[in-house]
Amino acid sequence: MSECPFIPPKPAARPEKVSLWRYLKLFRADILSAQPAKLYRAWMAEFRTPFFRSFLINQPELIHEVLKARPEDFPKSNRIAEGLRPLLGNSVFLTNGATWKRQRRIIDPAFEGGRLRDTFAAMKAAGEASVARLSQQTGQSVELEEEASHLAADVIFRTLFSIPIDHHLASEVFHEFRRYQKSQPILNIAAFLPLPAWLPRGFSAETRKSARKIRHLITELTLSRQVEISNGTAPNDLATKIMTTKDPVTGETFSTEEMVDQVAIFFLAGHETSASALGWALYLLACSPEWQVKVAEEARAIERLDFSAISQLKISRDVFRETLRLYPPVPMMVREASRAESFRDRRVPKGAQIVISPWHVQRHTRLWTEPDLFRPDRWQNREDKEAARDAWLPFSAGARVCTGAGFAMIEGPLLVSMLLRDFVVSPTDEVPIPVAHLTVRSANGIHLKVTQRP
């Protein structure tokens, strides 16, 4: 067994001074390696281009102001939406103002506390299917990031539409989404240049084709569910709940097109982000045998794995929190100043891009003890727990906190526990290289040796 690096891998920072062209090229390839090392210790940094100004903020007080105290003064930036619009349309992830509020009024009830209990059986069934797949690969090096994607997609389809990943439509969406990931960078030229609405956005033919196919398949699932709802035969899952929930203000439900937008973001947010976190969690535990044993022992001590057992997965939960700190699936969030502001005695003009980077905030040297180390025990440490209140942002914060945060914090610890209850994962010679595309993934996959746990 090869040794893992003591410090979990992170991208090398770029030189302090680079040309605008070089910066844009780096940024398009990987957001994280395009940033200078000083962002791990700075409270704020400004970046100017001929087309816009951006301010990356790490200071907790400023983050609180933008995300919690005055979110309506800092709406989501349309520049991020430019790269995601072909797939996500007008989903809740991209909208602002009255449209966003209406969408949240319909979506939020599906993710309330009582509903999470209803999704547990689907999560567990997907976990059991993953265990069965891995049982056929013991003693081998397995690309576990790919298995994590398969497992997370299975969870989403079971909880949304009550179908497993091997259902023909679910399988088609999953495989088409994998193609979409490879063809679409997180940002395109319109994220940097203020282009008029009529001008083409530079999406590749492959990206447009994949987005159209995914939306067509989701439309087929949605129309089929509408028929089941009309006939009174629809299962009581998330899709049914969302499609039958009326906006308490207008009395309207989502149209088919609106529902397709929302399912697209549920799949992206619920599958892609979960797969990212699960893959990195398994890698970190493979490199930390003592923590892996603790997770396995905790899992094996549970006599009956039902919803009530979630409260017993304390070690797994701390491991998952620490994974999300080191490898937040969404590494940066971008807001826009709707009026002139003053941050740290510096003028922030109207229209400036306000960047909040969970990647940098959660590894910030002035906020965390030993920020680059994998230390699940920090979540029982008073100093780090205090930092986490303002500097742990994997799900964002404030009014726009991720609707599925509670879902993710059940799914992640549960699946990690189920896999490590039965298997030992060990590092190989191939160290994963983190890059930010749609989420923080490994450029070369996450290859681990899987053996049956004694």
Range in 197-201, 261-265, 274-278, 445-449 with the lowest mean pLDDT: 197-201
Residue 271, pLDDT score? 85
Report the alpha-carbon distance of residue 138 to residue 253 in Å, rounded.
48
Residue 235, pLDDT score? 95
Q: Six-digit token pair at 353?
A: 């891009």
Q: Which residues contact 275 (CB under 8 A, 6 or more apart)?
A: 145, 148, 149, 151, 152, 153, 439
2 inside domain: no
Report the alpha-carbon distance of residue 361 to residue 369 in Å, rounded.
13
Q: What is the mean pLDDT of the chain?
A: 89
Q: How many domains does the chain have?
A: 1
CA dihedral 237, 240, 241, 246 (to 10 degrees): 180
Range in 146-160, 186-200, 276-290 with the lowest mean pLDDT: 186-200
Give the three-class secondary structure for 222: helix
Report the alpha-carbon distance of residue 349 to residue 341 in Å, rounded.
6
Amino acid of residue 90: N
Residue 185, pLDDT score? 53
Q: Six-digit token pair at 345?
A: 């005695």
Q: What confidence category does residue 1 fall into, taking pLDDT thresholds of 50, 70 and 90?
A: very low
Exposure of 411 in the CB half-sphere (CA atoms within 13 A) = 29
10 inside domain: no
Q: Which residue has the higher pLDDT, 419 or 193?
A: 419
pLDDT tens-place string over residues 389-419? 889 999 999 999 998 899 999 999 999 999 9
Domain that holds residue 163: 20-452
15 inside domain: no
Is a pLDDT exceeding 70 seen at residue 198?
no
Is a pLDDT exceeding 60 seen at residue 382?
yes
Is a pLDDT exceeding 60 seen at residue 202?
no
Give the three-class secondary structure for 440: strand
pLDDT tens-place string over residues 85-125? 778 888 998 899 999 999 999 999 988 766 788 899 999 99
CATH of the domain at 441: 1.10.630.10
3 inside domain: no
First vs last C-alpha separation in the chain: 18
310 inside domain: yes
CA angle 83, 84, 85 (to 5 degrees): 105
Report the alpha-carbon distance of residue 337 to residue 251 in Å, rounded.
33
Range in 169-183, 206-220, 292-306 with the lowest mean pLDDT: 169-183
Report the alpha-carbon distance of residue 82 to residue 12 in Å, rounded.
27
pLDDT tens-place string over residues 3-57? 444 689 998 888 777 776 777 677 767 788 888 899 999 999 998 877 778 999 9
Q: What mean pLDDT do residues 324-344 have?
A: 95
205 inside domain: yes
Q: Which residues contact 76 (CB under 8 A, 6 or more apart)?
A: 94, 95, 96, 334, 335, 336, 400
pLDDT tens-place string over residues 250-294? 999 999 999 999 998 888 878 889 999 999 999 999 999 999 999
pLDDT tens-place string over residues 335-379? 999 999 999 999 999 999 999 999 999 999 999 999 999 999 999
11 inside domain: no
139 inside domain: yes
